[in-house]
A and B are shown apart, each in its own frame.
Chain A
Amino acid sequence: MLTRRDLLKMGLLAGGSAMLPLEQALGRNLLRLPGGGNGGSPATTPFLRSLPLPATVQPVAAFSTRCATPGGTVFYEIHEKEGLHSFHPDLPPATVWGYQDVNAPNAPLTPGPTFIGRVNVPAVARFVNDLPTAPRSFGVPNTTVHRHGGFQEDLSDGIPTLFFRPGESYDYCWPNSNPDNDPREGESTLWYHDHLVDFTAQNVYRGLAGFHLMFDDVDSGNENDPNPNALRLPSGDFDVPMVVQDKLFAGNGELVYDSFSHNGFLGDKFCVNGAIQPFFSVKQRKYRFRFLNGSNARFFEFFLSNGRSFVQIGADDNLLPHPITRTSIRIAPAERIDVVLDFNGIPTGTAIFLENRLQQTSGRGPDRVVSHGTQVLKFIVDGPAADPSQVPNNLRELPPINPGAVTVQRRFEFARSHGGWVVNGEFFDPNRVLARPRLGVPEIWTLKNGGGGWFHPIHIHLESHRILTRNGRIPPAWEQGRKDTVVLNPSEEVRIYIEFRQFAGQYVFHCHNIEHEDVAMMGRFDTIL
């Protein structure tokens, strides 16, 4: 299979946007592969390729920037590019958009490289837009970067209309501080993705997404950490982020996106870290897997083929107070589930499959759990390894909340209306402010699903929230921690506790079924002093 690097070597690829000569050189139109039947993606042989592991973003020398840069600030430079990406050895490469560390110009474009943040170490990330000015088909090259789960000023939050165009760049100031400087507010698994108004679905599907992990003294990213406060969760090679996405492919290998999937786009191939159905060789020890559902509209429910359980340690950007053992984990678009799996005692050569058993036939939401699913990833157990890691029974304590003392209540209804989606009867208008929460004043928001069988995973920017009730009942244990995305199941009413503590400005909350978000289930809220 020709990789982008091979093509560069062959001199076939001058720049990311020079696609036409490249297509001719490859005889792309002749590379028709056998169809998968029923008009779907071409057939691909599963588990041919090892799980891609995104590289860590490396710092660059300090540059002058609009951001405050106290001593110790780390600087990064990321380029948004178009290029070719191999999703599977059986398919010709696809044209994707992705994020590229300026230090690693040959790295795969999607998912983007992983940012590693340390608490209270501020970072400035300069994003340079090198996308083509006049792309064909889907994707709009005006970009704005949202660090999902990030605690940051509005100018660095990826305001949907505050984009930068091809040839332009934008500096994002990420202070990496905790709300109230409270270590109980420490974060773990964030991600970053494009947030362009009206076109987020197309741009994220093209590949503009990556991980951003946070570490502190507790979740320190060092399983050998001598600090008694450190959790010593599996770290390094044994701490593996996995973004799962459904995609659709044409016979020529190109990504296919249907711009008329207003109800929510579904693909028929499951990719993990940009590879269709990869395998992953694991040692006989504990691993931390951070699952991110990076799909536009598809929900997953993962099971292990050997019937073992997942030990869930985190939900969305935060660790749970205690680990929870679960036989399956359901994950909605934009949610993250942080788990530990232990392969100790499993014979070398054993294959274990990560299966999605959630049937979903439309963008409306999942239908049901079925008895045999689709194998998304194959773990192959591959010999022993030392395991100094542990999963303590006490992870990260939750900050105390007092919902009974809350005096400010708001209500938002998320509904289908006239073929689109609305919040409190209105589709997104950046000049309409749906709420003005005051900094430092806790609030209770009632989020109501307007019905019709639709599922809406609602993401609120700036601060995590706590789910108080689902239809009046206490949520399950794995939803009792701090969350940044909360699923509204059909007709459900969910009450959440949320407090904004820093950064007065303009933010959004929206459905993270991205097609719903784009048409235009999103609302603006302004945090005020």
Chain B
Amino acid sequence: MKIESMKEWATARAGIRAVLASCVVCLAACSGSSARKGRPDSLAQVDSTTSGTEVALDGDIESNDLDDEETPRSPSVDEIQSGKLPNIPLLTQDDKPVRFYDDLVKGKVVMINFMFTMCQGSCPGTSAKLAKVQDALGDRVGRDVFILSISLDPEKDTPTVLKQYAERYGARPGWSFLTGNRSDIEGLRHRLGLFDPDPVVDADKTQHAGVILLGNGAIGRWSRILALAKPQQILDALDRVALDPQKWKPAMWSSEEPQAPNASGR
């Protein structure tokens, strides 16, 4: 399904502007429209266990939830089982409107990371790493595998800004930089599991920029790797998920390493 019309997109953009105008601390208040109606994982929800009385709502469970809007919710079993992901509208660095699931993930092999162009922490390293992976994959990018870099700072990261950033890293067709509505993107980030239960840590965007998700949308197999990995390790992980399982051979490990560094004493 393509995005219905540019009008729909325009509405979303208007929403972004409204949010910018009205909301100072945006992360919590705007988070997660699509991951909202999920399954609270609390003990209380282990259902109808007939513990005699009403199970386990001990009063303090609720207080533990602090601000309900801040607590990331798990998706419903039906959402998980469907294999579908939030179909949020996004714009590419070429100003092209797309839907996240239908257009970018469904039936495809993808590598996904979150970033923002002003990021000084982990993002530049991750983008440089992805550039190396892109080069190693050659013309398979855009054909067998797609790279999706999604902005966590969508108001600043307009398509124009993302386009410049993409050029800086030599992104070729098949590597998309994506922006959209902040609450949609925050919902997507939660759905993809890149959140911290500690709201303070979670509010630090750089904490979510160090993981590369690897997915095979055709069979619903997902894995992930830290962007700290060497490009070859990322390529290997991609093979395991998707591209060429036969290339994954059983192996013992090499043994040439020098003495372990952390031993004291003899």
A positions within 8 Å CB-CB of B: 36-41, 43-46, 134-138, 140, 142, 144, 155, 159, 161-165, 198-199, 248-252, 254, 256-263, 266, 268-270, 277, 353, 355-362, 364, 367-368, 370-375, 406-412, 416-420, 422, 424, 427, 429-436, 441, 452-453, 506, 518-520, 524-526
Taken residue by residue from 166 to 180, chain B's Cβ proximity to chain A (1 for < 8 Å, 0 otherwise) reads as: 000000000000000
A258's partner among B44, B74, B264 (CB-CB below 8 A) is B74
Q: Which residues of A contact B264 (CB under 8 A)?
A: 408-410
Interface centre among A140, A266, A370, A453, by most chain B C-beta atoms within 10 angstroms, is A370
Q: Which of B13-21, B33-41, B129-137, B153-161 contacts A (4 or more CB under 8 A)?
A: B33-41
Verify A419–B194 contact, CB threshold 8 A.
yes
Verify A359–B43 contact, CB threshold 8 A.
yes
- A521 CA to B55 CA, complexed, in Å: 35
Name the distance in Å between B9's Cβ and chain A's nearest Cβ.
Answer: 26
- What are 30 A-to-B residue pairs whose CB atoms are below 8 Å? A38-B39, A39-B37, A39-B74, A134-B219, A136-B219, A137-B221, A144-B250, A155-B252, A161-B250, A162-B252, A248-B77, A254-B81, A258-B74, A266-B41, A268-B47, A357-B56, A359-B64, A362-B197, A367-B61, A370-B43, A372-B56, A408-B263, A417-B226, A419-B208, A419-B210, A434-B262, A436-B259, A452-B196, A506-B252, A519-B224
Verify B40–A361 contact, CB threshold 8 A.
yes
* Beyond known contacts A37-B47, A270-B46, A370-B58: 16 more, CB 8 A cutoff: A39-B37, A135-B219, A161-B253, A162-B251, A163-B250, A251-B78, A260-B213, A360-B41, A370-B56, A372-B58, A373-B43, A374-B55, A406-B265, A422-B226, A506-B252, A520-B225
Q: Which of B97-105, B141-149, B227-235 contacts A (4 or more CB under 8 A)?
A: B227-235
A374's partner among B49, B77, B78, B253 (CB-CB below 8 A) is B49
Quick one: which of B187-242 are within 8 Å of A by CB? 191-198, 201, 207-211, 213, 219-229, 233, 237, 240
Verify B50–A375 contact, CB threshold 8 A.
yes
- A86 CA to B250 CA, complexed, in Å: 33
Quick one: which of B84-140 are within 8 Å of A by CB? 122
B262's partner among A45, A198, A270, A410 (CB-CB below 8 A) is A410
A418's partner among B40, B226, B237, B253 (CB-CB below 8 A) is B226
Q: Which residues of A contact B77 (CB under 8 A)?
A: 39-41, 248-251, 256
Name the distance in Å between B172's Cβ and chain A's nearest Cβ.
Answer: 26
Name the distance in Å between B61's Cβ and chain A's nearest Cβ.
Answer: 6
Verify A250–B48 contact, CB threshold 8 A.
no
Given A370-B61, A429-B233, decide whether A137 and B224 contact each other with a Cβ distance below 8 A: no
- The reply to whether the CB of B80 lies closer than 8 angstroms to some CB of chain A is yes
Q: Which residues of A contact B254 (CB under 8 A)?
A: 431
Q: Which residues of A contact B219 (CB under 8 A)?
A: 134-137
Q: Which residues of B contact A433 (CB under 8 A)?
A: 257, 260
Name the distance in Å between B103's Cβ and chain A's nearest Cβ.
Answer: 20
- A429 CA to B225 CA, complexed, in Å: 11
Name the distance in Å between A31's Cβ and chain B's nearest Cβ.
Answer: 13
Verify A198–B240 contact, CB threshold 8 A.
yes
Verify B194–A262 contact, CB threshold 8 A.
yes
- The reply to whether the CB of B255 lies closer than 8 angstroms to some CB of chain A is yes
Q: Which residues of B contact A419 (CB under 8 A)?
A: 194, 196, 207-208, 210-211, 226
Given A164-B250, A356-B43, A435-B260, decide whether A138 and B51 contact each other with a Cβ distance below 8 A: no
Given A258-B193, A424-B262, A435-B260, decide whether A40 and B45 contact each other with a Cβ distance below 8 A: yes
